[in-house]
Structure 1
Amino acid sequence: MKLNKVYIAALLVAGTVGMSSCKEDFLDENQITKHDTEYFKTQEGIDALVTGAYQTLKFRYEYQWAYKMWHMGIDEFTGGNNDMADYNHYSSALNSSQGDLATVWNTYYGLIEQSNIIIQNVPVYYNKSNANYNTRLGEGYFLRAYGYFELVKLFGGVPIKLSPSVGVETYFTRASEEDCYKQIISDFEQAYNLLPTSSNQTGRILKSAAAHFLAKAHLFRASEGCDNWNSSYKAADLDAVIKYGKEVIAAHPLCGNFLDLWNYTKPNDANESVSEVVLAAQFSDNSDSWGRFGNQMSLCYPSVYQNLSGCVRDISGGREFCYVSATEYAMEVFDRVNDSRFWKSFITCYGCNKGSAAPKWDASDAAYFPEGAVAGDTRFKGGEIGIKYIVNNPEDTRFTDAGTGRSDLAVLKDGKLENTHTFIRYYANESFNWNVKKEERTGNYYTLYPHNRSVALSKYRDGSRNGYNSQFGCRDAITARSAEDVLMVAEAYIRKGESEYGNAITYLNMLRDRAGYAAGEDRSKSPDGGQAYLNNPLGTGVANLDGAIYTDANTYYESNNIAVTTAETKSVMHLNSVADVYNMPNEQRIYKALNCTTNAQKMMCFLLDERSRELIGEGHRYEDLVRTRTLDARWHAFNDGAGQGIGNFDPAKHYYRPIPQSFLNDITNEDGSSLTAEQKQAMQNPGY
């Protein structure tokens, strides 16, 4: 039974304690219980409070703060059609008054308040002989650690509060990052010792989840972001990463095929319970469990298609808010011939779902007509491919344009017009470029601003929504999977020094071997969650369509310009030695751009690139580049925000988010007096 179908009322009861203002509004409008905090002094009330606290695990996927905090302003993605300059480009609008910062702050402190009640009340009011006693206490410790970990990763040292509030409290001081990490690791250790290894409820926090986050917290403390104070912890931290990471890998075997993680067909189906998932935020098609938002990550990544003739918005294609757009780095980091992860993570083909509105062959272009084209006929029909993205290399000479302003309908392939809306990464005679500077951009979609055309991440696509304009996604959101533990163990070995690089290679190969194509695998197909429309009673959600935007086709062969093959590529993906890391062809441009010259620099660069290949778009990248202090170099090298004059990443400032101004305005000194401007500034992060 899915956890979010249990105690629906409990989500409301628990939510009255310290949730964000957005959730308070929803709860106030839908109050269905008269219980107060005395209810949490009963076993039933504690069970309800714990279950309600799980709601906060959804927070990272629910609304605009999700995109802003963890998915923007990085090397993999730049601003999209709905660009947010404050977070994508580090403009002056990213300041302490930015409202989503307060929402994040309040929400996680709300979770901490709930957790403090759980930790305090379980030993006093919960039957110690009950089979769930340790579990409830372990969940309380896990959730408190999780809340503080989320805050520290964004803001640095924050106030530590370890007991429930009694009345109004206004006096708080910031703890150091060091003390925060001590508390986080201590709480995760408590959770690890208390939590069970299995549950009959999908979505419950287990011992392996505590192990995963212990590995992660130790890795963060051992990383460059903590170098001002972490020297005495590093050696033990790296050993802990390896210990806990290996435990998680053993408990959660990797899926045999990378696609198994994303082959979503309907809510609550087998795809959401694969062995690799350690913890997931539980969403469903039960509208009672949605709260105010549902899973809204499907809105972040889609490329705009609805304004291209023959293609109208439907459930299968998604609602294209398009907040981000893939960078050149996001394509260059992959070996797109041998690494299936690119094609199983991105959308390169869209169907025509309204043939009557498809573009027609224009007689004035007759000199460029491909064989069979007739003036006045539609260029494609409903059910056929209507939009293509060609992810080719700069030496490709096949594609030019017919001289009509690089229109998507004027693309020539070997001198003949493509029938579809076609977007090209590189035209003939264009040299490789990171496309950071406007005057150097290549292809016919980099030139568009805002960037409403790009290969779009498919990992959140959701054809199970309840309408073509619905923002309420039903897919679970993966918070932790054992592939990241593989990468964390590999990184710990790299950080231990050159003598351990061989061990790192062993773990990297666990993912790279899987990433290669299996013998007989069809490389021309890339199914994703858009296919869930086939199991949706609403279908495409739009009447009188003669097709769907979703298609499982891709442009693998056309992009790579190779013959059809079913040969395996796992042996090509396999690293035979450390020398393969240093000399891998698709890494050379990245090493050069980042000035990686030593073996140690190349190993860490490769590790971060492998994290991108495996985890792209899953909400880890901003944190990874912050903790390794590589965001400055990578944003300037690969994100075109660096060349737009909108803002600029400042390493003296932007490795931390600003403390919300609302918090600084509301707290007081110990004597109850308001903070002076100087005191507020002293508590604020540098530069804000």
Structure 2
Amino acid sequence: MQSYRKIFWMVTGLLMAMVSCSDEDFLEENRKDALTTENAFLTKSQFESLLGSMYRKVQNFYNAGDGDTDAWPLGLGTDAMFYPRDDSKIFNDWTQLNSFDGYSSRWYTWQYEIINYANTVIDAAQKEGVKWNSEEERDAIIAEGKFFRAFAYRNLTNIFGGVPILDAPVVAPKVDYTRNTREECWQFAKDDLVYASNHLPITASLPGKVTRAAADHLLAEINIALKDWDGAIAASTRVIDGSDGDYQLMTGRFGSRADEPGKNIYWDLFRMGNQNYDTGNKEAIWVAQMEFNVPGGTVNFGRPTIERMMWCLHWNFQKAGYSGQAQDSTGRGVAFVRPTTHTNYTVWQGAESDLRNTEASIKRKYYFADDVAPYSKGDIIPKSFLTTKEDSLLFIYPNWSKFGTDKHLDGRPDNGYVRDYYVMRLPETYLLRAEAHLGNNRPDLAAEDINVIRNRAQAPLVDPADVDIDYILDERIRELFGEEFRLLTLGRLGKIYDRTKQFGYETAQNSIKEHNNLFPIPQSVIDRNVGAKMEQNPGY
């Protein structure tokens, strides 16, 4: 994605220049050509530049830190994954989650930055003097702004509960915000998404741009949060049945490495270059763009860090004969995040032929790199060889192929896996509709939607009698682990505590409390709001 300048700050900031001049006329103010919010956005291209700042924020969700910081919305510390290096780390030890936590406060700030950008777009697009080619063009820009505003409120409301609703640009200091209710925030997001669904284009003008299908996908989730089951079914159906464009699950091998034997369609979905709709991936609804060797293409570090974050350190397992030198074929995982036992094993009980659980999709077999008596080079490393805690927490655990590759760009294992990130993929739309059908007391229809996904995966089909919300959450792990914002899903359902207590890492199980179903409002937000009381969530 192109590197966009943050025009918003240029527009709303104060530009000052210190000059020296013998003529005191320079002290006279002439604002005829001054850049303001009234004249900065007069053409579509100017609006596109500001919209680009919002897309860049989404890049940050996936590429902001070289560690575990990008993982926490994906479910760090819950039923899905944990930090294996230190039991005292936040989200292993949930008692450390407080109003001073930097992870969630950064998330809070990011969302309000998006909201501020979005409000500027929505407001400026409706002013006189903007050169639009048509009303449809104007409405599509407004719809894009409203989509992002709704997206940000969903990202806030699902984990913090009710937050202040801002429906216009902030142009003067304000320190008396109050929290709206959670339902009011979801309803506000819903209203924006209804507009976006009606006015966004069906086809993206550029890879990574949001479309009508993205709006309906998110609208389905918000309707579920509001228990509008029929509305959720209708929105998700528009994505699934072709009303929003030709979206369908990929069922045959495709893409850049489709001719390689021993792999499968699920593996193909995560090969570099295979993520975008315009290159043939018809289940890609919205994809965050990452580019190799393009300024701003990966936001930080010159590459996404997902392989380092999610893969184990087997290349450095010197006890098993490894040299400690990462190779193109091994990648350079650093084990910042490890899937839980539930994710790696429990959800796969009875999986049989499920393509998502094959060795191609989840590498479970590791081999001795040299002779280590009584084993020989090339022998499978047995579980009995893993005798220390670090052996199985850092060096050897299942590596999900969706997070890395054995053929890196330029052969560089440290920064040669640069793929785009699915923000929304069609299987999740099916699972949202299944959730809505379940809420509507139709487990038979919920099973039908789940089985579309399981049929593609060549997995045993589920019986309607076995479908409940926990089954859907497990299917989300099988299909969407490391893609969905797991914490937001569990937060929306009020199940952060329940699922972590039942399936999380032992330290997290022992430390999480029921009040952790909502995260604390950042203390910095409360302290700055001196004109009114910003209520904190209970328990913090």
- Give TM-score scaled by structure 1 length: 0.65
Task: Please state how far the C-alpha of 1:107 moved relative to its aligned partner.
Answer: 1.2
Amino acid in the other structure paired with 1:657 = F
- Structure 1 distance, partners of 2:433, 2:173, is 44
- Structure 1 distance, partners of 2:219, 2:495, is 23
* Residue 84 of structure 2 is aligned to residue 80 of structure 1: yes
Would you say the 8 A contact 2:78–2:496 is kept in 1?
yes
Corresponding position of 1:461: 404
Corresponding position of 1:340: 355
Task: Please state how far the C-alpha of 1:482 moved relative to its aligned partner.
Answer: 1.1
Corresponding position of 2:449: 507
CA deviations on 1:436-484 (whole Å, 9 max, x unpaired) are: xxxxxxx937844882131122212155467847468521110001111
Would you say the 8 A contact 1:126–1:133 is kept in 2?
no
- Structure 2 distance, partners of 1:135, 1:625, is 32
Going from structure 1 to structure 2, the CA distance change for 1:207 and 1:126 (only over 3 Å counts) comes to farther
Corresponding position of 1:61: 62
- Structure 2 distance, partners of 1:17, 1:170, is 22
Task: Please state how far the C-alpha of 1:45 moved relative to its aligned partner.
Answer: 1.9
CA deviations on 1:126-179 (whole Å, 9 max, x unpaired) are: 334346322211101101111111111121111111111213322211111111
- Structure 1 distance, partners of 2:268, 2:142, is 31
Going from structure 1 to structure 2, the CA distance change for 1:11 and 1:112 (only over 3 Å counts) comes to same
- Structure 1 distance, partners of 2:439, 2:387, is 39
* Residue 318 of structure 2 is aligned to residue 317 of structure 1: no
The DSSP-based 3-state class of the residue aligned with 1:306 is helix
- Structure 1 distance, partners of 2:402, 2:156, is 26
Going from structure 1 to structure 2, the CA distance change for 1:478 and 1:83 (only over 3 Å counts) comes to farther
* Residue 257 of structure 2 is aligned to residue 254 of structure 1: no
Would you say the 8 A contact 1:17–1:110 is kept in 2?
no
Task: Please state how far the C-alpha of 1:188 moved relative to its aligned partner.
Answer: 0.8
Task: Please state how far the C-alpha of 1:492 moved relative to its aligned partner.
Answer: 1.4
The DSSP-based 3-state class of the residue aligned with 1:298 is helix
Corresponding position of 1:650: 513
- Structure 2 distance, partners of 1:242, 1:626, is 21
Task: Please state how far the C-alpha of 1:269 moved relative to its aligned partner.
Answer: 7.7
Task: Please state how far the C-alpha of 1:12 moved relative to its aligned partner.
Answer: 3.7
Alignment gaps of 5+ in structure 1: 20-33, 223-236, 353-357, 370-378, 386-418, 428-442, 517-569, 582-601, 671-678
* Residue 199 of structure 2 is aligned to residue 194 of structure 1: yes
Would you say the 8 A contact 2:93–2:508 is kept in 1?
no
Q: CA RMSD for the aligned pairs?
A: 3.0
The DSSP-based 3-state class of the residue aligned with 2:70 is helix
Task: Please state how far the C-alpha of 1:350 moved relative to its aligned partner.
Answer: 5.4
| Percentage identity across paired residues of the two chains | 23
Could you tell which deviates more after superposition, 269-278 or 172-181?
269-278
The DSSP-based 3-state class of the residue aligned with 2:290 is coil
- Structure 2 distance, partners of 1:269, 1:221, is 31
Would you say the 8 A contact 2:11–2:35 is kept in 1?
no
Task: Please state how far the C-alpha of 1:16 moved relative to its aligned partner.
Answer: 5.8
Corresponding position of 1:99: 102
After TM superposition, the structure 1 = structure 2 runs for residues 78-477 of structure 1, keeping only pairs within 5 Å, are 78-81=82-85, 85-90=89-94, 92-124=95-127, 125-130=129-134, 132-222=137-227, 237-250=228-241, 251=245, 252-257=247-252, 258-259=265-266, 262-266=269-273, 273-289=280-296, 290-293=298-301, 294-308=303-317, 309-310=321-322, 312-330=325-343, 331-334=345-348, 335-343=350-358, 344-349=360-365, 358-362=369-373, 365=374, 379-380=376-377, 419-420=379-380, 422-424=381-383, 444=386, 447-448=389-390, 451-452=393-394, 453-461=396-404, 464=408, 468=412, 470=414, 474-477=418-421
Would you say the 8 A contact 1:78–1:641 is kept in 2?
no
Amino acid in the other structure paired with 2:187 = K
Could you tell which deviates more after superposition, 619-628 or 282-291?
619-628
- Structure 2 distance, partners of 1:278, 1:155, is 26
Corresponding position of 1:625: 490
- Structure 1 distance, partners of 2:481, 2:40, is 40
Could you tell which deviates more after superposition, 181-190 or 245-254?
245-254
Task: Please state how far the C-alpha of 1:110 moved relative to its aligned partner.
Answer: 0.7
Task: Please state how far the C-alpha of 1:333 moved relative to its aligned partner.
Answer: 1.0
Would you say the 8 A contact 2:77–2:505 is kept in 1?
no
Would you say the 8 A contact 1:170–1:666 is kept in 2?
yes
Would you say the 8 A contact 1:108–1:151 is kept in 2?
yes
- Give TM-score scaled by structure 2 length: 0.82
CA deviations on 1:390-425 (whole Å, 9 max, x unpaired) are: xxxxxxxxxxxxxxxxxxxxxxxxxxxxx24x143x
- Structure 1 distance, partners of 2:449, 2:300, is 41
Would you say the 8 A contact 2:162–2:180 is kept in 1?
yes
Would you say the 8 A contact 1:42–1:126 is kept in 2?
yes
CA deviations on 1:264-307 (whole Å, 9 max, x unpaired) are: 14588889651001101111114312333553332321011132
- Structure 2 distance, partners of 1:88, 1:509, is 34
Would you say the 8 A contact 2:74–2:486 is kept in 1?
yes
Task: Please state how far the C-alpha of 1:263 moved relative to its aligned partner.
Answer: 4.2
Task: Please state how far the C-alpha of 1:339 moved relative to its aligned partner.
Answer: 1.1
Going from structure 1 to structure 2, the CA distance change for 1:342 and 1:84 (only over 3 Å counts) comes to farther
Corresponding position of 1:545: none
Going from structure 1 to structure 2, the CA distance change for 1:17 and 1:104 (only over 3 Å counts) comes to farther
Task: Please state how far the C-alpha of 1:113 moved relative to its aligned partner.
Answer: 0.5
Could you tell which deviates more after superposition, 142-151 or 468-477?
468-477
* Residue 461 of structure 2 is aligned to residue 574 of structure 1: yes
The DSSP-based 3-state class of the residue aligned with 2:422 is strand
- Structure 2 distance, partners of 1:14, 1:460, is 34
- Structure 2 distance, partners of 1:212, 1:501, is 21
Corresponding position of 1:40: 40
Alignment gaps of 5+ in structure 2: 14-33, 253-264
Amino acid in the other structure paired with 2:53 = G
Task: Please state how far the C-alpha of 1:486 moved relative to its aligned partner.
Answer: 0.8
Corresponding position of 1:394: none
Amino acid in the other structure paired with 1:659 = I
Would you say the 8 A contact 1:263–1:271 is kept in 2?
no
CA deviations on 1:103-124 (whole Å, 9 max, x unpaired) are: 2111111111110010001122
Amino acid in the other structure paired with 1:202 = P
Going from structure 1 to structure 2, the CA distance change for 1:154 and 1:295 (only over 3 Å counts) comes to farther
The DSSP-based 3-state class of the residue aligned with 1:278 is strand
Corresponding position of 1:408: none
Task: Please state how far the C-alpha of 1:98 moved relative to its aligned partner.
Answer: 1.5
- Structure 2 distance, partners of 1:643, 1:189, is 39
Would you say the 8 A contact 2:275–2:422 is kept in 1?
no
- Structure 2 distance, partners of 1:624, 1:54, is 22
Give the number of the structure whose alpha-carbon radius of gyration is greater. Answer: 1
CA deviations on 1:504-540 (whole Å, 9 max, x unpaired) are: 2221211111111xxxxxxxxxxxxxxxxxxxxxxxx
Going from structure 1 to structure 2, the CA distance change for 1:620 and 1:68 (only over 3 Å counts) comes to closer
CA deviations on 1:189-217 (whole Å, 9 max, x unpaired) are: 11111111113311111111100000011
Would you say the 8 A contact 1:262–1:271 is kept in 2?
no
Going from structure 1 to structure 2, the CA distance change for 1:195 and 1:60 (only over 3 Å counts) comes to same
Task: Please state how far the C-alpha of 1:659 moved relative to its aligned partner.
Answer: 0.9
Corresponding position of 2:17: none
Corresponding position of 2:255: none
Task: Please state how far the C-alpha of 1:631 moved relative to its aligned partner.
Answer: 3.2
Would you say the 8 A contact 1:84–1:323 is kept in 2?
no
Corresponding position of 1:31: none
Would you say the 8 A contact 2:74–2:484 is kept in 1?
yes
